Amino acid sequence: MKTYKQQTVQELADQQVRFAPPPRRLEQLKRAERLLTEIDPQRAYPYQFVCYRVTDYRSHENAKLLLPGMDLVHDLGLLINDLATSLPAIPVEDVAEPVMTIGDMSKRLNVTTKTINRWRKRGLIGIPVLCNGRRQLGFLPSLVDPFLAANRVRIEKSGKFSQLSQEERDEILRRAQRFARLGLGSLTEVSRRIARRMGRSLETVRYTIKNFDEQHPEQALFPDVTGPLDSTDKQVIYNSYRRGMDMNTLAKTFQRNRSSMYRVLSEIHAQRLMEHPIDFIYHVSFDDPAQEAAVLAPMPDAEAFEESRRAMRIPKDAPPELFSNYEMPLLTKEQEQHLFRKMNFLKCKAKQMLEAMKVPSGLINYEALRVETLDQVEDYLAEANKVKELLIRCNMRLVTSIAKRHTGQAENFFELLSDGNMSLMRAVEKFDYSRGNKFSTYASWAIMKNFARTIPDEKNRRDRFVTGNEEVFDATEDKRTDEQEILAAAEQATAKVNRLLENLEPRERDIIRMRAGLDSGANGMTLEKIGEKLGITKERVRQLNVRAMKKLRGIGERQKDEM
């Protein structure tokens, strides 16, 4: 894994990769390569000098910072590689120069592909190109020649080191043929054995065998008997790995190396992420890197919020289904603004990273997939979902209060509550915090608008299934016993009683429930026991009970008249 030695150079690279347009990045590639050829590892260089040579911009930051030449050689190579990798792929036919692949470069310089990749970290520039619809690394003479001129001694030495005589090639192939016939391992394992016995590098031996197989497919020592993996195999690999299967076991099962397995995982991972569209409310501040730290910071007054949460108490008269409404306190306007901005910012970043993995046609650019990038996208989405859950939980009491006002229009309060919660979730997704309104105003409008549509629809649905013979059905005695019907009837009766009791004051409601045994399911409590529990006299309990029952009879008569 690449690691910069100087944080300031890494920040410079990140800034150019993210914000510099592609033509500008290509120019910076050439400038960075020229600078790399001039660096003396034994000297130190001012950061401002390095920044100017790469970007043509005189930075006023880090004015006194000196970068050791040895570190700068290392980091400039990584910067060049990052800039090259970030460029959009150019169709081969649109390139004015001949394009060499990494294999072509390997043959031209008589070195292995691994050596070519190592040189890329030292300043050898390769740019992404599209060839036959696939993204691959291409090398242009105008970018390669300066590197070759500046590293002539190194390249000649590497070419001589990797050069094999014909006798050595024949010996490698003879040994490989014998190992392959005996089934003593994969290409990599066989190459390792031969390299150890002949005193050659693993990549030199492996490249020799692979080159022979490509030139003589009918005599291939390690033929690709499995062919390309289909979508079913890739799904099996992904699911098996997610269930905990070891990567080495998967590689042996599908006769692939670990790198191929990881590419499959990244491919399926990216497909699954892109199957679900990411919707968010955009704001111009999302494109300002200076505001990112403030956006991702904890919300204002987070400590006071936690204290309020710990102090939350569930009302005694609240049904168990509503206990979750009292777990989170209400948010202030500033806290709402911060959380909505953070949630949408995280989604924006996740979508931007996914879009960067696509080619102009909209398809996934599998060659550009990186495990670290996919993991970062998932982290962004997971964090955004946590913020969304917090916003929902802090506003669930709003749904309850609105649902209670519409209880008379619906048969089942909890079905109405569930419908309102769905409206709340959609409102959290669609709320534009930048307009300065309180979320409760927008959410109330959305929930009531939804109730105005769904309640009449539910009534119409019930009316459509009226048979016209309800009187006959009601008059016919049903001698069957159905436990589910009995339980449903009991629940419905309990719900009606609870709705009726909501019209009483809390203490009157408690007295009625204890007197009738509604909570315990047993016989009701005596007036004396109720008085002891509430801390009042027996006579006061009787007076409150009489007053409460009078209220209930009045409410019942009014409801009967209205029907």
- Give the DSSP letter string of 245-282: --HHHHHHHTT--HHHHHHHHHHHHHHHHHHS------
pLDDT bracket for residue 240 (50, 70, 90):
confident
pLDDT bracket for residue 529 (50, 70, 90):
confident
Q: Which of 128, 138, 116, 140 is nearest to 365 (CA)?
A: 128
The domain made up of 492-562 has a fold known as Arc Repressor Mutant, subunit A (1.10.10)
CATH class given for the domain over 231-275: mainly alpha
Within the chain, all domains assigned CATH 1.10.10.10 are found at 492-562
Buried-exposed string 332-357: b where 16+ CB fall within 10 A, e elsewhere: eeebbbbbbbbbbbbbbbbbebbeeb
- Stated length of the chain: 563
83-109 residue pLDDT tens: 888 888 878 777 777 888 878 887 777
360-384 residue pLDDT tens: 777 777 777 777 888 889 899 999 9
Indicate the range of 124-133, 184-193, 339-348, 492-501 predicted with least confidence.
492-501
Rounded distance between C-alpha atoms, residue 241 and residue 261, angstroms: 10
Q: Which of 269, 263, 275 is nearest to 242 (CA)?
A: 269
Within the chain, all domains assigned CATH 1.20.120.1810 are found at 284-463
Q: Check whether 338 has a pLDDT greater than 90.
A: yes
151-169 residue pLDDT tens: 777 666 565 445 677 888 8
pLDDT at 523: 67
Contact between 83 and 17 (Cβ < 8 Å): yes
Residue 335, both tokens: 């806290």
Q: Which long-range contacts (CB under 8 A, 24 or more apart) does 115-121 make?
A: 115/158, 115/162, 115/203, 119/147, 119/151, 120/77, 120/80, 120/81, 120/84, 121/2, 121/74, 121/77, 121/78, 121/81
Percent of the chain topping pLDDT 90: 8
Q: Are strands 90-91 and 127-131 parallel, antiparallel or unpaired?
A: parallel
Chain center to CA of 164: 49
426-468 residue pLDDT tens: 999 999 988 888 898 898 898 888 888 877 766 666 666 555 5
CATH class given for the domain over 284-463: mainly alpha
Q: Check whether 66 has a pLDDT greater than 80.
A: yes
Q: Is 66 helix (H, G, I), strand (E, B) or coil?
A: strand
> For tokens 């001694």, what's the residue?
153
Average pLDDT over residues 483-490: 54
Average pLDDT over residues 204-217: 81
pLDDT bracket for residue 473 (50, 70, 90):
very low
Residue 235, both tokens: 């799904």
pLDDT at 237: 85
399-422 residue pLDDT tens: 888 888 877 665 677 778 888 888
Q: Name the average pLDDT for the chain.
A: 80
Which of 194-198, 267-271, 389-393, 398-402 shows the highest mean pLDDT? 389-393
pLDDT at 105: 81
